[in-house]
Structure 1
Amino acid sequence: MNHQVTHSAIELCAQLNDLLSQISDDQFSAPLPLFSGSSIGQHTRHIVEFYQCLILSVKQREKVCYEDRQRSLPLESDRSYASQQLEELQQQLTIVGDYPSEITLLVKDFDDQLVSKDWESASTVTREIHYCNEHTVHHLAIIKVGLKHYFPEVQLNEIFGVAKSTFAYRKGK
Structure 2
Amino acid sequence: MEIKPAVHRIFDQLTFLLENLTNEEYSKIAEVLSCSSIGQHVRHSLAFFTCLFQGIPLGVVNYDERERDVFLENNTLEALGCLSQLSEQLEGLTDNPVLVLKQSYDQTSIEVATNLSRELIYCIEHTVHHLALIKIGLKEFKPDLVLPKGFGVACSTIKYRQSRQVSA
TM-score bucket of the superposed structures, by smaller chain: over 0.9
Aligned-residue CA RMSD (Å): 1.3
Corresponding residue for 2:68?
71
Instruction: Calculate the TM-score normalised by the size of structure 2.
Output: 0.93
1:161 aligns with 2:152: yes
1:144 aligns with 2:141: no
The CA deviation at 1:23 is 1.0
Query: Could you say which structure has the higher strand fraction?
Result: 2
1:108 aligns with 2:86: no
Residue pair 1:137, 1:161 contacting (<8 A) in 2 also? yes
Residue pair 2:59, 2:98 contacting (<8 A) in 1 also? no
Query: What amino acid sits opposite 1:49 in the alignment?
Result: A
Aligned length: 164
Corresponding residue for 2:90?
93
Structure 1 stretches lacking a partner, 5+ long: 111-115
**CA distances 1:104-131 after superposition (whole Å, capped 9, x unpaired):** 0000111xxxxx2101000000000000
Corresponding residue for 1:113?
none
The CA deviation at 1:84 is 0.8
How high is the sequence identity, in percent, across the aligned residues?
36
1:125 aligns with 2:116: yes
- 2:52 counterpart (51, 54, 67): 54
The CA deviation at 1:56 is 0.5
The CA deviation at 1:4 is 2.9
The CA deviation at 1:52 is 0.4
Instruction: Calculate the TM-score normalised by the size of structure 1.
Output: 0.90
The CA deviation at 1:96 is 2.3
